Amino acid sequence: MFGLLVELGPLLLNEDSLNNAAYHATGVPQLVRNPSSWTKVANVLVVDNPPPIGFSYCEPAGPSGGGTSCGPWNDSSVAASNKVFLENWVREFPEYAHNPMYITGESYAGIYVPTIAHLLWLDKASPVQLAGIAIGDGCMGTDVLCGRGNGGPWWDLEFMHGHGQIGEKP
């Protein structure tokens, strides 16, 4: 949701959302048009993964299920699940089947994006027209940046500082 409403979507929540007549009348922040939306030049498909991350959930546990309510996940099973999803999506919406697909992500997608792309690349019969990948601020492995096994709390603080979650002022 952050990426959709702050970074790449057609509508934004920003300082202008709090500086207009509708906001002053209702107290409700207003969506404003994003002049730099990715949707001006591409279709954007956002996927929560693995379930139950984000808005996804699993049956029978439902939205209150725990992190393993959909079964045990690891990086390989997430990649395989996403490959199947993308292939089924292309089959369900054949009007997009010939469009080049770029898989992008940030943070732990530094693991997910390459593993999904690798499975698609290996499957020469896949209907997905993978054209490339992009990763921003990506995790490079469970022992580097995104892992908790090495470095201890200092690395957690450095990570949060580098992402603007800890300021410079005392």
Question: In the chain, which residue ranges form alpha helices assigned H by DSSP?
Answer: 2, 21-26, 75-92, 109-122, 153-162
Q: pLDDT at position 107, please?
A: 81
The domains found in the chain, sorted by start residue, are 1-38 (no CATH), 45-139 (3.40.50.1820)
Q: Which amino acid is at 164?
A: G
Q: pTM value?
A: 0.70
For residue range 99-127, list pLDDT tens digits in order: 999 999 888 888 899 999 999 999 999 99
What is the three-class DSSP state of 156?
A: helix
Name the packing angle between helices 75-92 and 109-122 (round to 10°). Answer: 60
Q: What is the pLDDT of residue 68?
A: 62
Low-confidence ranges of the chain (pLDDT < 70): 57, 59-69, 141-156, 170
The rounded radius of gyration (Å) of the Cα atoms in the chain is: 19
Closest among 96, 119, 94, 116 to 47, alpha carbons compared: 116
What is the structure's pLDDT at 155? 63
| pLDDT of 148 | 52
Bridging pattern class, strands 101-107 and 130-138: parallel
